Structure 1
Amino acid sequence: MSRDVYAQRQARRADPLETVWMDGLPEEVVPAFEAALLRVCPSVAIFRDEVTDTWRVEGVRPQGQGAEELAGALALASLVSGGFEPVVQSAPVEAEGWLARTVASFGEQAIGAGFLVRPTHLPEARIYGRTVLKLDAGIAFGSGEHGSTRGCLVAFDDVARRGRRLRRLLDLGTGSGILAMAAAKRLRRPVLATDIEPWSVRVAQDNARMNGVGRLVRARLADGWRDRHVRAGRPYDLVFANILARPLCSMAKDLSVGLAPGGVAILAGLLGTQVRMVLAAHRRRGMVLERRLPQGAWATLVLRRRR
């Protein structure tokens, strides 16, 4: 990234920011409230309180942005969580200070045996034996730090090393585009990357260009399997779906139809306590579990459609 581009990105982040957070969340409701904050917060993080065995979910956003949308998303999260209503708090944070802390905490990450995530503020350096994925330190979601993203990259590295024929590729809920870029770089094949958030689609396409795979990654605004372009690309040899447990269950039928015989799906965004529920939904559709990868409280599943 040129100095001019980096300076422009810093300037765009000079707007007043605020942190929005909720404390004391039980583990089973974390995904729903994390998803709610992601509706308006480009950066969302979760933390576990070892003493109380509860969770904190916090996000950073421009002050006041998407207030009505956030209220609706939190109400929906409460509904799907059985009526659980956490106290939502917020406080201002200086944009430059937040950026400095983000840059300081976002270092190079070696993930599995095959990938290296490098933030754009670090100098270029040749790495042998790993696929390098460059990401902006300000884009915290889909940066490889979250257990779900790490699990997907480790799982994909294993699938790719087995030499399977992977020609048609789909990334549902692409976020930063990190999984689509990983597949495009490793396999040198086109990837359809979709998300329901326009902001994510723009970021994913920008990241793909920055990583030299802009012609291979096609980022599209789409609501999963309902989109005609997604359906037109069937059958897929590999599908990433790093979303949430309940949407994963809901799409089990579409996934089993959309995968080619012998095709592989890498599912994430679910807690370890939700694995049985997600597995049951997909096994009813003829999917077979190949591997389960725990990543802290999170889990990644590698499923295969029977031939």
Structure 2
Amino acid sequence: MSRDVYAQRQARRADPLETVWFDALPEAAVPMFEAALLRVCPSVAIFRDEATDTWRVEGVRARGAGDEELAGALALAALVTGVTVELQAEPVEAEGWLARTVASFGEQEIGAGYLVRPTHVPDRRMYGRMVLKLDAGIAFGSGEHGSTRGCLVAFDRVARDARARRLRRLLDLGTGSGILAMAAAKRLRRPVLATDIEPWSVRVAQDNAKMNGVGKLVRSRLADGWKDRHVRAGRPYDLVFANILARPLCSMAKDLSIGLAPGGTAILAGLLGTQVRMVLAAHRRRGMVLERRLPQGAWATLVLRRK
């Protein structure tokens, strides 16, 4: 969906928008509160206050949208992290928010191989980099977040390896905007199963895949990870992306070890540097081996291989 179409739909709906946020979060609590806002906000950002070494997580949503769902997600975040913070909100003009979102989302060069180009930026010939076109702020995975960038950098290295020719069965768990599935489909020319628990993300991922010329290779599906029978039916996978959160990654370790082919590769992200040891321990117990760790600011990406 183009930025102009999105703007027109926003104008027709005329939904009042609001910014919601949490201040003074400790680093370890950021993923859970970010995940809570992602349930109701199409656009979420995080910021670090260097003076206090705390974090701000904020999102934009239609005013009051998903209040009950958000309340449940926040209760879970508080229970898991032991952190209780007040949700703050203030109204924002839809046109002003859209303009700020577009203005802040420019072209991004990621690693040595990729360029993320928002749809409001004119096309131009690009040499030596794969171009991935996306709308700003439609679904998680615009390339701005450290976890998404880490996954693309990690995949670029995996794809350059001699073993890449054996990567035939590909899975993207928690696909968001579909950016990782598109990168894999474009680079390897292989079909990719891209799943997410949010219907909106599934639709956006499929639209983005068509816009990037890989609509026939990327198959988007509403699915709750390995619980879905279609995901299980596709096993064993040679490459699995899982850009989710640290605790779900830990709980999926057993399913991942079963779902990966011998010698298969998993690229895990959505975890802070402080959570690496926990995620690694869960996967090592299942026979997974660490091949590479890539830091991206406060975030980390892990490349694991099944023995």
State TM-score, norm by structure 1. Answer: 0.97
Report the CA distance between 1:252 and its aligned residue.
Answer: 0.5
Q: What pairs with 1:1-307 in structure 2 (closer than 5 Å)?
A: 5-14=2-11, 15-82=15-82, 84-139=83-138, 141-164=140-163, 165-306=166-307
Identity %, equivalent residues: 85
Question: For the residues of structure 1 that align with 2:200 and 2:73, how far apart are their CA atoms?
Answer: 17
For 1:285 and 1:106, the matched residues in 2 are separated by 40
Letter in 1 for 2:186: K
Q: Distance in 2 between matches of 1:138 and 1:36?
A: 16
Task: Output one character per residue of 1:262-302: Cα deviation in whole Å (capped at 9) or x when no partner.
Answer: 10000000000000000000000010000000000000000
Residues 3 and 135, structure 2, Cα contact 8 Å, conserved in 1:
no
- The 4+ residue runs of structure 1 with deviation greater than 3 A are none
* TM-score under structure 2 length normalisation: 0.97
Aligned residues of 1:99 and 1:138 also touching (Cα < 8 A): no
Partners of 1:295 and 1:141 in 2: CA distance: 17
Q: What SS is found at the alignment partner of 2:205?
A: helix
Question: Contact 2:195/2:222 (CA < 8 Å) preserved in 1?
Answer: yes
Retained in 2: the 8 A contact 1:27–1:55?
yes
Kept after mapping to 2: 8 A contact 1:234/1:258: yes
Query: In structure 1, what residue type is equivalent to 2:240?
Result: V
SS at match of 2:203: helix
**Cα distance, 1:6 vs. partner?**
3.9
The secondary structure found in structure 2 opposite 1:13 is helix
The AA in structure 2 aligned to 1:109 is Q
Following superposition, the deviation at residue 132 of structure 1 comes to 0.6
Please state how far the C-alpha of 1:225 moved relative to its aligned partner.
Answer: 0.4
Q: Secondary structure at the match of 1:282?
A: helix
Letter paired with 2:265: V
How many angstroms does 1:140 deviate by?
5.8
Q: Which amino acid aligns with 2:287?
A: G
- Paired residues in the alignment total 302
Determine if contact 1:238/1:264 at 8 Å carries over to the other structure: yes
CA offset at residue 255 of structure 1? 0.4
Say whether the 8 Å CA contact 1:44–1:140 is kept in structure 2.
no
3-state SS of paired residue (1:143): coil
The CA RMSD over aligned residues, in Å, is 1.0
Instruction: Answer whether contact 2:168 2:238 (CA < 8 A) is retained.
Output: yes
**208-217 or 145-154: which moved more?**
208-217
Are the counterparts in 2 of residues 19 and 91 from structure 1 also a CA contact under 8 Å?
yes
- The gaps in structure 1 that reach 5 residues or longer are none
Assess, with a 3 A threshold, how the Cα gap between structure 1 residues 148 and 6 changes in structure 2: closer, same or farther. Answer: closer
Tell me, yes or no, if the aligned pair for 1:17 and 1:60 is still in contact at 8 Å: yes
Unpaired runs of 5+ residues, structure 2, are none
Q: Is the 8 A contact 2:139 2:204 kept in 1?
A: no
SS, match of residue 176 in structure 2: coil
| Matches of 1:193 and 1:18, distance apart in 2 | 30
- Residue 22 of structure 1 deviates from its aligned partner by 0.4
Give the secondary structure class of the aligned counterpart of 2:162.
Answer: coil
Rounded to whole Å, the distance in 2 between the matches of 1:137 and 1:28 is 27
